[in-house]
A and B are shown apart, each in its own frame.
Chain A
Amino acid sequence: MSAATTTPGSQPVVEITGLSVSFATDAGNVRAVDDVSLQVAPGEVLAVVGESGSGKSVTAKTLLGLLPSTATTRGAVVLSSKDGSTRDDVLALDQAGLRRVRGRDAAMVFQEPSTALNPVYTVGWQIIEGLRAHGKISRTEARAKAVDILRRVGIPDPEHRIDHYPHQFSGGQKQRIVIAQALVLDPGVIIADEPTTALDVTVQAEILDLLRRCRDEFGAAIVLITHNMGVVADLADRVAVMYQGEIVEQAPVRQLFSAPEHPYTRSLLDAVPRIGAGGAHARARAAARPEGWADQAPVVEARDLEITYPGRLRQPGFRAVDRVSLAIRPGEVVGLVGESGSGKTTIGRAIAGLTTVTGGSLQVLGVEMNGVKERHVRPIRHRVGFVFQDPATSFNPLLTIAECVAEPLVVHGRARDAAAARSRVDELLESVQLPRAYGDRYPHELSGGQRQRASLARALALDPELLIADEPTSALDVSVQARVLELFAELQERLGFACLFISHDLAVVDLLADRIAVLHRGRLVEEGTGEQVLGAPREEYTQRLLASLPVPDPVEQTARREAWRALV
């Protein structure tokens, strides 16, 4: 069946031989996976890493026969059951055969737990559904099994919680339930497709811990699909690096991190931002500041800022920002970090006048934003630039890049129309290192990193004194992120604008920011230079946040994991 050798003593649970996958698209056939061969031994955690478009997710989906009908496959994907009694080539199975194999031999954990669970059924029903699909089992027996599995994945009070609906659980708990769903049939291998990408760092650490227990206690092998090298260092035994549909390197985790062989692996590891890398940079910048810099009038000054979203039908509103005081001085980069729901984006939007301020005071370039009319904000609009999180949606898809970048110039009367602004647009594109010819393209014809650079060009078109960057690199691959961050730092140095840099990634903020402010549930927890906040955190929340962050180094991460356990 397969030419690949098996580990002596135990045969692999997954054996992929010469797998190629191509998709029929509007623009012709596109090959996503090219001649990939992989093996997963029982109880092993194999991480498949790569950037978007590298074919890692397609490979994982092939294991369960989840490819869409537009896909054409070649090669063999052999799944063995846990006890080794059956071996099936997934690519050759019919629908009934696939149903038999799914759940029993291999199960899937999806990226987004909130969409992987059906909102109209209780979580217990959804776990039991899987049990009843594979063989006869009585109602009480199935329920007992479901309660047991929920307890083992760490859901408190499972006897009652089993009858709750998905929306009654937090994001991390939902991911635990999805994992429970995968574990309940005791599969030989669990395929986890970016299982922690949608989760906050602190929750991510808990889920990684649970996945490790899946292997230790349930004996399941795990195929971990991820782009996060920290997660790989934390969990994986062996790593396969994918690039352009091929596996370029396979190695045990310690060997891969200490001595990467393939140049792509090396550049990928180099691109990962590490905490502590920005300390020297920030110190040099602080030393270069002229005398009396700190006494200048701040560009942005928030005093006891409060932002409340109105509640529905007499319910109390949601307070997204709670008495935050913060100042940004001219030419200073302030990093705002926090987990989802901490209010960091809300603050950025309030400074740009996109969200109404409901309490306290927020001065932006001398204009009080509390109770301000759009009429009064407009005069300062040209002095504030904004870079949005997702470069894919922040451009009007029907305008060319040049027209999009020219938009601020046209709106503020610096140019009559997009054509008249073209020379300035070319200059701007060159300053963000995009060739002039890209101006004639449409946004969808550019890659994510290129689009984000164009977005930066648009934000800088009017020479703003303040730039608000809302998670500008979180939608980008690490290697692209590294380039954009480098460019960003260079432009900031040259043009000297003040900047509020919003991110959930501590390492990214550390690279750029002069000062870091940590938000937690709408409150400002800690503020200081990168070395103060990240080097010696005073607050308990900051300490927990730092300890939860996996570092891209398996040896160091093992030590950190122990420290994290002690803290939680």
Chain B
Amino acid sequence: MTTPTAAPTPRGWRRLPVVHQLRQSVGLQRVMLIVGLVLTGLLLLSALLAPWLAPYGYGQIRSADTGPFGAQQPPSAEHWLGTTVGGFDVLSRVIWGSRTAVLVIVIAIAASLIIGVLLGLVSGYFGGWLDRVLVVIADAVYAFPSLLLAIVLAIVISGGQSSMIGGVLAAALSITVVFTPQYLRVVRAETIRIKSEAFVESARVIGASNGRIMFKHVLRNSTRTLPLIITLNASEAVLTLAGLGFLGFGIEPTKAAEWGYDLNRAISDVTSGIWWTSVFPGVAIVLTVLGITLVGESLNDLADPRLRTRRASADVTGDVAATSVVPGGALTAPGGVEGLEPRTEDGR
């Protein structure tokens, strides 16, 4: 689609959150969104296809034909991005690392989304003492640094053992604890706003039960800002996982690849001029966070009509009839009701 004109009311797949915004965007906002989507897409692809993309396994230090890789080897034909101090292939570790990162993102988002949205909905809809208690707890959790929480959880979950599941769950659950209050607050605020809207009152007058009103009328209308929080949440999850690994609470290299751990091991390399062990995992973290943040930022701007840029027209153009009313209502229009074109077809 080259021009945004004459777009009919989107239907079907075009109404999906990201696709709809992509079609709507122009100029710099569109570039930002596309860059973000491409980076995020690369992350997902490499996570999905890691076994086929990576030349070696994440814990592999020797190949069957050539023997051990050797430690701190510079980039070469065998090892495109060199090897680490532990003798792992950097490229393979970076690719496999995306799998761990995506796993943490998915678990963290799924857990905090479900808990936060449900609590927010109940809290906002019913109010009263339950609402007050939940909000106080949420405020208390806000004051908690997520990394500290993650360290505590890492110890509790894995007892100091750094297995893959342990490391992933520690990062994901600490993120869940920190982010649940955000979902709760956002959904609660939206619920309170929507609760007083006329269509919810009309459902009450009809006699619909609380459950029906909550899930059919309120929940679906209060998810507007969630895509933005989800993206913020995702980048925060990646950073926490990397931070944990960097502090030494990460996953052992034989259990899974993890960028933070690799960075930690590369500290001593930096001073001895070995750049490839730190740069590539670092770049992977930066690009992941950047990609997700760009998507989030653009979605936020596009969702707000005041921030959304539109292609300005060079001259006064457009159809007048589309905005105006028909005198006497639709029925006295020429041809009566049948004479009226459906609005989706008359160029709106």
List the A side residues contacting B308 at CB < 8 Å.
Answer: 26
Min CB–CB distance B321 → chain A (angstroms) = 6
**How far in angstroms is the closest Cβ of chain A from B301?**
14
Q: A480-488, A529-537, A551-559: which lies at the B interface?
A: A480-488
Could you say which of B197, B199, B203, B330 has the most chain A C-beta atoms within 10 Å of its C-beta?
B199
Whether, in the assembled complex, A393 has its beta carbon less than 8 Å from a beta carbon of chain B, the answer is: yes
Contact status B199-A393, CB under 8 Å: yes
Secondary structure at chain A's binding surface: helix, strand, loop or mixed? mixed
User: Which single residue of chain B is at the shortest CB-CB distance from A440?
Assistant: B342
Pairwise interchain contact A396-B328, C-beta atoms closer than 8 A:
no
Docked-complex contact B325 and A480, CB < 8 angstroms: yes
Report which of B201, B316, B330 forms a contact with A72, defined as CB distance below 8 A.
B316
Q: Which residues on the B side are within 8 Å of A353 (C-beta)?
A: 205
* Residue of chain A at shortest CB distance from B8: A27
Give A70 to B24 CA distance when docked, in angstroms: 15
Chain A 386-407 per-residue mask, 1 if CB under 8 angstroms from chain B, else 0: 1011100111111000001001
Partner-contacting stretch, out of A81-89, A152-160, A173-181, A443-451:
A443-451
Q: Which of chain A's residues has its CB closest to B5's CB? A: A28
Chain A 347-374 residues near chain B, CB threshold 8 A = 352-354
Q: Are B320 and A264 neighbours in the complex by a CB distance under 8 Å? A: no
Q: Which of B116-124, B138-146, B158-166, B206-214 contacts A (4 or more CB under 8 A)?
A: B206-214
Q: Which residues does chain B contribute within 8 Å of A20, judged by CB atoms?
A: 316
Across-interface contacts of A244 in B (CB, < 8 A): 320-321, 323-324
Chain A 11-46, CB-CB to B under 8 Å as 1, else 0, gives: 000000000111111111111101000000000000
* Residues in B neighbouring A32, C-beta threshold 8 A: 320, 323
The residues of B that contact A354 with a CB separation of less than 8 Å are 201, 204-205
Q: Please name all residues of chain A whose beta carbon is closer than 8 Å to the beta carbon of B313 when the two chains form the complex.
A: 22, 24, 29, 72
Task: Check if A23 sits within 8 Å of B201, measured CB to CB.
Answer: no
Q: Is B217 an interface residue (CB 8 A)?
A: yes
Per-position 1/0 for A405-446, Cβ under 8 A of B:
001100110000000000000000000011101000110010
State whether the Cβ of A237 lies closer than 8 Å to any Cβ in chain B: no
Among the 9-residue stretches A202-210, A274-282, A377-385, the one with 4 or more Cβ atoms under 8 Å from chain B is A377-385
- The CA of A243 and the CA of B220, in the complex, are separated in Å by 38
B74 to nearest A CB, angstroms?
Answer: 53
User: Is B318's CB under 8 angstroms from A22's CB?
Assistant: yes
Residues of B within 8 A of A29 (CB): 5, 313, 317-318
Question: Is there a chain B Cβ closer than 8 Å to A479's Cβ?
Answer: yes
A48-71 contact mask (Cβ, 8 Å, vs B): 1 or 0: 000111110000000000000110
Q: Does A240 contact B (CB under 8 A)?
A: no
Of residues 236 to 285 in A, which have CB atoms within 8 Å of B's CB atoms? 243-246, 264, 267-268, 271
Q: Is B64 an interface residue (CB 8 A)?
A: no
A458 at interface, CB cutoff 8 A: yes
A118 at the interface (CB under 8 A from B): no
Say if the beta carbon of A74 comes within 8 Å of chain B: yes
Across the A-B interface, how many residue pairs have beta carbons closer than 8 Å? 171
Measured between beta carbons, the chain B residues less than 8 angstroms from A386 are 202, 205
With A22-B318, A245-B320, A411-B212 known as contacts, the answer to whether A382 contacts B328 (CB < 8 A) is no
Give the residue name and chain of the A residue nearest to B6 (CB).
A28
* Minimum Cβ distance to chain A for residue B208 (Å): 5
Asked if A477 is at the interface (CB within 8 A of a chain B CB), the reply is yes
Q: Which secondary structure dominates where chain B touches chain A?
A: loop
Find the residue from A24, A51, A388, A389 having the highest chain B CB count within 10 A.
Answer: A24
- The answer to whether A449 touches B329 (Cβ under 8 A) is yes
> Is A396 a contact of B221 with CB atoms below 8 Å?
yes
Does B225 belong to the interface (CB within 8 Å)? no
Question: In the bound complex, what is the Cα–Cα distance between A76 and B323 (angstroms)?
Answer: 23
CB of B7 within 8 A of chain A?
yes
A73 within 8 A of B: yes
Residues of B within 8 A of A352 (CB): 205
Tell me the bound Cα distance from A34 to B342 in angstroms.
24
Choose one: B206, B312, B331, B344; the contact of A483 (CB below 8 Å). B331
A447 touches B328 (CB 8 A): no
Determine whether the beta carbon of B337 is less than 8 Å from that of A407: no
Asked whether, in the complex, the Cβ of A435 is within 8 Å of the Cβ of B320, the reply is: no
Does B198 sit within 8 A of A, measured CB to CB?
Answer: yes
Instruction: Give A388 to B324 CA distance when docked, in angstroms.
Output: 24
Query: Which residues from chain A contact B304 at a C-beta distance below 8 Å?
Result: none
Interface pair B324/A54, CB less than 8 Å apart: yes
Q: With contacts A28-B318, A31-B316, A483-B329 known, is A395 near B199, CB below 8 A?
A: yes
Contact (Cβ within 8 A) B202 A245: no
The smallest beta-carbon distance between B310 and chain A, in angstroms, is 4
Given A354-B204, A388-B202, A411-B206, A31-B317 contact (CB < 8 Å) = yes
A460 to chain B, nearest CB (A): 12
**B316 and A407 form a contact (CB under 8 A):** no
Asked if A378 and B9 make an inter-chain contact with CB atoms under 8 angstroms apart, the answer reads no
Q: In the complex where A30-B323, A437-B342 touch, is A70 in contact with B310 (Cβ < 8 A)?
A: yes
Question: Are B343 and A445 interface neighbours, CB within 8 A?
Answer: yes
Min CB gap A353→B, angstroms:
8
Give Cα distance in the complex from A387 to B79, angstroms: 72
- Contacts A32-B323, A244-B320, A435-B337 given: A412-B207 contact, CB under 8 Å? yes
Q: Is A271 in contact with B328, judged by CB distance below 8 angstroms?
A: yes
Contact of B206 among A55, A267, A381 (CB under 8 A): A381
Which of A23, A479, A480 contacts B318 (CB under 8 A)? A23
Task: Please report the C-alpha to C-alpha distance between residue A447 and residue B4 in the assembled complex, in whole angstroms.
Answer: 23
**Cβ of A23: which chain B residues have Cβ within 8 Å of it?**
318
Residues of A within 8 A of B338 (CB): 435
Please report the C-alpha to C-alpha distance between residue A26 and residue B302 in the assembled complex, in whole angstroms. Answer: 11
Residues of A contacting B343 in the complex (Cβ-Cβ under 8 angstroms):
441, 445
List the B side residues contacting A411 at CB < 8 Å.
Answer: 203, 206-209, 212
Q: Does the CB pair A53–B199 fall under 8 Å?
A: no
Q: Do A458 and B202 touch across chains, with their CB atoms under 8 A apart? A: yes
Within 8 A of B (CB), among A462-505: 477, 479-480, 482-484
Q: Tell me the smallest distance from the CB of B340 to a CB of chain A, in Å.
A: 8
What are some 26 contacts across the A-B interface (CB < 8 A)? A21-B316, A24-B312, A26-B308, A27-B348, A29-B313, A30-B318, A30-B319, A53-B323, A72-B312, A72-B316, A74-B316, A244-B320, A267-B332, A268-B327, A381-B206, A381-B207, A384-B205, A388-B201, A393-B199, A395-B202, A396-B216, A396-B217, A407-B208, A411-B208, A434-B337, A480-B325
Q: Which 5 A-B pairs have the closest CB atoms?
A: A381-B207, A28-B5, A29-B318, A483-B329, A394-B198
Beyond A54-B324, A447-B330, 6 extra complex contacts between A and B, CB < 8 Å: A23-B318, A26-B24, A352-B205, A354-B204, A388-B198, A483-B329
